[in-house]
Structure 1
Amino acid sequence: MNMARRGEDFAEQTRAIVADHSHLEGPLLPILHAIQEAFGHVPQDCLPVIARELNLSRAEVHGVVSFYHDFRDHPAGRHVLKLCRAEACQAMGGDALAERVKALLGIDFHGTTADGSVTLEPVYCLGLCSCAPAAMLDGAVHGRLDDAAIRDLLAEARA
């Protein structure tokens, strides 16, 4: 697909998503979540369309997208692994676990493995403080992680 056609598709789908959510009070965040759900990320081509449809500046829309860590500017891997970076997890070995995961995957936070299987993201509290260190793989939370448990999660994601 050529770049012009791709931009038209993004614009058309974005306008439809905005129309579906514009009745909400404060529709920008639900719209951005719906766009990420539709495209796997929030394409830059969508931002001016959202701004125009909601009568916002591009800077306002960009500011929201860049502020929230959950919005990606590129597609994620087939699986998303989020490692908790909050204090309780850090106190229970989360930093060492994060370094181990990065080494095993060969990527840093916000990166995706070369085979496209896993995207690694930091998250600042999963609410599992009593089960630290914790992670979330594709929306499922996992606590009391150690080297063996994280290897099992990674094997599951890379299968």
Structure 2
Amino acid sequence: MTVVSSHNDVENLTLIFTAEFDTNVDRVWQVWEDPRQLERWWGPPTWPATFDRLELRPGGDARYYMTGPEGQKAHGWWKVLAIDVSKRLEFDDGFAGEDGEPLDLDDTTRCVVTFEEDGGLTRMTSVTTFTSVEQLERMSEMGMIEGMTLALGQIDGILAESTVTY
């Protein structure tokens, strides 16, 4: 099923994706919690991600990079703000230098992901909030909407595999 809707709301400076998965919420949560599963979908297929660090707890950090088709690397970071396992994840996201450290703390987005289970189906909603219209437009021009749609589209394949325990 995957992405059922996306909405670019310039007035509220948000980009909203809703995806549905034919499995329970705990299994969907695993694709965020396990860095090896997260790597398989966080970037679009032509820009796969590698997570060097994933501390999924309030105050925790993530450091990652996505590798482009010609070997170029785009580095990013997260600061986890809040977490309610299998229900809600909130983090700031931004660009990083080659060392994985944030480039500009004023050029971040806030992402809130919620998970709801309804009769064995899980709805995952991701709301990214931007600091300005200019930032939203710049990220849209960089292909964020298409990239996130393609990235989310990879989750079904991961979920079809057996549940991973670690």
Q: Flag whether TM exceeds 0.5 (same fold).
A: no
Give 1 or 2: higher helix fraction: 1
- The TM-score, its normalising length taken from structure 1, stands at 0.26
Give 1 or 2: higher strand fraction: 2
- The TM-score, its normalising length taken from structure 2, stands at 0.25
Larger radius of gyration: 1
- Point out which structure has higher relative CO (alpha carbons under 8 A, 6+ apart): 2
